[in-house]
Amino acid sequence: MTQPNDHPVHFVVGAAGGIGSALCLALAESGAQLVLAGRRAEPLERLAAQLGARSVVLDATDPAAVDSAVAAAAKEFGRLDGLVNLAGSILLKPAHRTSPEEFQETLAQNLTTAFNCVRAGANAMLRTGGSIVLLSTAAARTGLANHDAIAAAKGGVMGLTLSAAASYAPRGIRVNTVAPGLVDTPLAAPILENEASAKASTAMHALGRLGRPDDVARAIQWLLDPANDWVTGQVLGVDGGLGTVRPR
The pLDDT tens digits for 62-106 are 999 999 999 999 999 999 999 999 999 999 999 999 999 999 999
Instruction: List the CATH code of the domain at 9-182+212-234.
Output: 3.40.50.720
Contact, 51 vs 28, CB < 8 A?
yes
In the chain, how many H helices and how many E strands? 9, 7
Phi, psi torsion values for 152, nearest 5 degrees: -65, -45
Spell out the domain ranges in the chain: 9-182+212-234
Q: Which of 84, 86, 123 is nearest to 225 (CA)?
A: 84
Sheet hosting strand 173-180, strand order edge to edge: 54-57, 33-38, 9-13, 82-85, 130-135, 173-180, 235-238
Give the pLDDT of residue 6: 78
CA-to-CA dists, residue 125 to 4, 129, 161, 173, 196, angstroms: 15, 5, 16, 7, 46
Q: pLDDT tens, 30-72?
A: 999 999 999 999 999 999 999 999 999 999 999 999 999 999 9
Selected residue with higher pLDDT from 1 and 171: 171
